[in-house]
């Protein structure tokens, strides 16, 4: 019989010491109606908890673990770096190697600056855009998440959407007054916003494939449309590829869709599970950053030796031929399988996927094209699905508004097992 006594005990202690017992809100599992599972260790596509349960991991640390846990190439690269010292506050060759790889692969990036998280990357990118253009406002899309900096906490995705809060206390009105948020995939809303605010907009920032309100695909031609419009008004286009970078291919969503932004934010995968973010783009813009230019941004641990070692090793494995084809095939198999089983048992849901990321939106048959659609999903049903899958040994994102990821370590047998578990879960849902 499944039990998680020790996880519950740890969580009780954690709640006395850490707000909500967690260091990032969605981990608390509130919206799916259970307590968090504490993780003791990971190995390949499996997670292990202190109560002796194991789970197939479809969260992959919210994206970074595209090779699975403890990939031998990453373990040996990080171990080697560890033996040489963990931080110097001076340049190292690994930073240059990681920068070189990113510049080679990501079409928009001619120069790159490494930071410590996706949040740092996006907040630095908009400071740069403001410094470069001399304009103040930014435009974002409802349900997109760009980290937790003040400017982005307006109709944001991820935990903000999961908890159902519009913004956050502590963010001054004066700051969010400079952030405009409009629906994704809506050309009229975009044109209207540009007509009204275009001259004051420093940047349009977007997840080219939104994945923090669940996975949503850009309509055919939508990214091209946004690119064209921003160019006409000299507004910088920033792709937040913290999730899609090195997930949809080595060149990210921009290569996948053939649309090149001015600046790109990266994170997650490029750190191979260690804390890394980055922002990069056109040389003339990037050279505005200190000490090359006047826009200030710095970091004690930026370009950290362990983090860059993990990042380089991760990219080296991803560069091997056939990687993304294999990830894509497996995700197709999983998504198609889920759709088939769901319709067999009369469960109404839609699987939206691209590459190796996917969201199953419950209670929806029509495509989910924006935040408003996503909010119609049946979160209570998702919660029941989540809890049943957990007991079957499958670890899904503890929120309807997040993506499921697979890694290179997910093999066919694991996927087969997952489909079996999903079938039991759907039968359970159909009969309750
Ligand atoms: C995760 C994420 C961020 C924030 O990155 P952190 O490392 O959590 O600060 C920013 N943008 C997108 C699209 C993300 O998915």
Reported as a pLDDT band with limits 50, 70 and 90, residue 405 is very high
Whether residue 233 is found in the same domain as residue 305? yes
Whether residue 294 is found in the same domain as residue 355? no
Exactly one of 57, 142, 186, 240 is catalytic; which is it? 240
Burial of 6 (0-12, 13-18, 19+ CB in 10 A): middle
Whether residue 242 is found in the same domain as residue 275? yes
Whether residue 57 is found in the same domain as residue 145? no
Whether residue 26 is found in the same domain as residue 49? yes
Residue 51 pLDDT exceeds 80: yes
pLDDT for the residue 66: 98
| Catalytic residue check, 188 | no
pLDDT for the residue 156: 83
Whether residue 335 is found in the same domain as residue 349? yes
| Catalytic residue check, 324 | no
Question: Which protein residue's CA is at the shortest distance from atom 15 of ligand 1?
Answer: 243
Smallest CA-to-CA distance from 264 within 247, 240, 243, 285 is with 240
Which of 318, 333, 367 finishes a domain?
A: 318
Report the C-alpha gap between 65 and 271 in whole angstroms: 9
Which of 276, 292, 318 finishes a domain?
A: 318
Whether residue 354 is found in the same domain as residue 277? no
232 is in which domain, residue-wise? 72-318
Q: In whole numbers, what is the pLDDT of the chain averaged over residues?
A: 96
Instruction: Phi first, then psi: give them for residue 347, nearest 5 degrees.
Output: -90, 125
Whether residue 164 is found in the same domain as residue 248? yes
The count of domains in the chain is: 2
CATH code (residue 230): 3.40.640.10
120 CA from centroid of ligand 1 (Å): 9
Exactly one of 46, 145, 222, 382 is catalytic; which is it? 145
Which of 260, 283, 318 finishes a domain?
A: 318
Residue 432 pLDDT exceeds 90: no
Residue 365's contacts (CB-CB under 8 Å, 6 or more residues apart) are 348, 350
Residue 294 pLDDT exceeds 80: yes
pLDDT for the residue 165: 66
Report the C-alpha gap between 358 and 29 in whole angstroms: 19
Whether residue 241 is found in the same domain as residue 330? no
CATH code (residue 386): 3.90.1150.10
Q: Is this model's pTM higher than 0.85 or not?
A: yes
Choice from 24, 242, 272, 397 to test ligand 1 binding pocket (greatest atom count within 8 A of CB)? 242
Whether residue 60 is found in the same domain as residue 83? no
Q: Which residues line ligand 1 (CB under 6 A)?
A: 117-119, 122, 145-147, 207, 212, 240, 242-243, 267, 277
Whether residue 141 is found in the same domain as residue 289? yes
Indicate the pairing of strand 357-362 with strand 349-354. antiparallel
């Amino acid at each position: 019989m499944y039990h998680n006594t020790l996880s519950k005990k740890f969580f009780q202690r954690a709640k006395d010491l850490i707000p909500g017992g967690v260091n990032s809100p969605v981990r608390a599992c509130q919206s799916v109606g259970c307590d968090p599972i504490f993780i003791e260790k990971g190995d390949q596509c499996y997670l292990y908890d202190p109560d002796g349960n194991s789970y197939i991991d479809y969260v992959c640390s919210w994206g970074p673990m595209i090779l699975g846990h403890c990939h031998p190439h990453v373990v040996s690269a990080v171990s080697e770096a560890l033996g040489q010292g963990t931080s110097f506050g001076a340049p190292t060759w690994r930073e240059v190697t990681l920068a070189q790889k990113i510049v080679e692969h990501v079409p928009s990036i001619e120069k790159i600056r490494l930071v410590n998280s996706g949040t740092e990357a996006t907040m630095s990118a908009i400071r740069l855009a403001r410094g470069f253009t001399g304009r103040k406002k930014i435009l974002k899309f409802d349900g997109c998440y760009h980290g937790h900096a003040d400017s982005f906490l307006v109709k944001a995705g991820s935990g903000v959407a999961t908890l159902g809060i519009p913004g956050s206390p502590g963010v001054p009105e004066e700051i969010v007054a400079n952030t405009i948020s409009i629906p994704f995939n809506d050309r009229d809303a975009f044109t209207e916003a540009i007509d009204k605010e275009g001259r004051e907009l420093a940047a349009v920032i977007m997840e080219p494939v939104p994945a923090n309100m669940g996975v949503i695909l850009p309509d055919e031609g939508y990214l091209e449309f946004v690119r064209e419009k921003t160019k006409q008004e000299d507004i910088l286009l920033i792709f937040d590829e913290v999730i899609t970078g090195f997930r949809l291919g080595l060149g990210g969503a921009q290569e996948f869709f053939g649309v090149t932004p001015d600046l790109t934010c990266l994170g997650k995968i490029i750190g191979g599970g260690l804390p890394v973010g980055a922002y990069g783009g056109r040389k003339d813009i990037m050279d505005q950053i200190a000490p090359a230019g006047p826009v200030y941004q710095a970091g004690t641990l930026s370009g950290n030796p362990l983090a860059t070692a993990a990042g380089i090793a991760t990219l080296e494995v991803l560069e091997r031929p056939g990687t993304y084809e294999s990830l894509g095939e497996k995700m197709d198999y999983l998504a198609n399988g889920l759709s088939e089983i769901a319709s067999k048992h009369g469960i109404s849901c839609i699987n939206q996927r691209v590459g190796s990321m996917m969201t199953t939106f419950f209670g929806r048959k029509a495509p989910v094209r924006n935040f408003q659609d996503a909010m119609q999903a049946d979160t209570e049903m998702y919660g029941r699905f989540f809890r049943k899958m957990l007991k079957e040994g499958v670890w899904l994102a503890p929120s309807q508004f997040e993506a499921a990821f697979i890694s290179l370590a997910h093999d066919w047998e694991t996927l087969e097992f997952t489909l079996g578990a999903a079938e039991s879960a759907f039968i359970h849902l159909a009969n309750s």
